[in-house]
């Protein structure tokens, strides 16, 4: 499944609920899921970690749907030509720099 397919799936499954909750309420749920992912990263349980990554990605897709952002296009635009900082693949930016 690619990102566009994920966004369509999430829109089909939850689109009306997401729209009624709105972007602010949805963002709060997204942040809660990020917190759960953080806990799973600390616990080291592979199954829990796998499911929390899926939840975070699904809530991110929900936010993108509400904001009318094509995630696949956004990722391609920002990272499709290499590192946004140095333009290289792999990145050769100083390790202290973001990304």
Q: Is residue 11 part of a domain?
A: yes
Q: Is residue 90 part of a domain?
A: no
Q: Give the integer Cα–Cα distance in Å for 37 and 90.
A: 27
CA atoms within 13 A on the CB side of 63: 15
Q: Give the integer Cα–Cα distance in Å for 56 and 37.
A: 7
Q: Show the domain range for 50.
A: 3-68
CA-to-CA separations, 98 to 38, 47, 93, in angstroms, rounded: 20, 30, 8
Q: What is the pLDDT of residues 27-86, one digit of tens each?
A: 999 999 999 999 999 997 899 999 999 999 999 999 999 999 999 999 999 999 999 999
What's residue 96's pLDDT? 85
Q: Is residue 37 part of a domain?
A: yes
The domain tally of the chain equals 1
Q: Give the integer Cα–Cα distance in Å for 32 and 91.
A: 31
Q: Is residue 34 part of a domain?
A: yes
Q: Does the predicted TM-score (pTM) go above 0.75? A: yes
CATH code of 28's domain? 1.10.287.1080
């Amino acid at each position: 499944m690619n990102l566009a397919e994920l966004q369509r799936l999430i829109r089909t499954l939850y689109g009306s609920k997401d729209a009624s909750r709105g972007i602010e309420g949805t963002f709060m749920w997204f942040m809660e899921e990020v917190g759960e992912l953080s806990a799973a990263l600390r616990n080291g349980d592979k199954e829990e970690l796998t499911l929390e990554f899926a939840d975070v990605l699904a809530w991110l897709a929900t936010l993108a749907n509400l904001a009318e952002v094509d995630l696949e296009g956004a990722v391609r635009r920002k990272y499709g030509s290499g590192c946004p900082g140095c333009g290289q693949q792999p990145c050769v930016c100083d390790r202290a720099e973001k990304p």
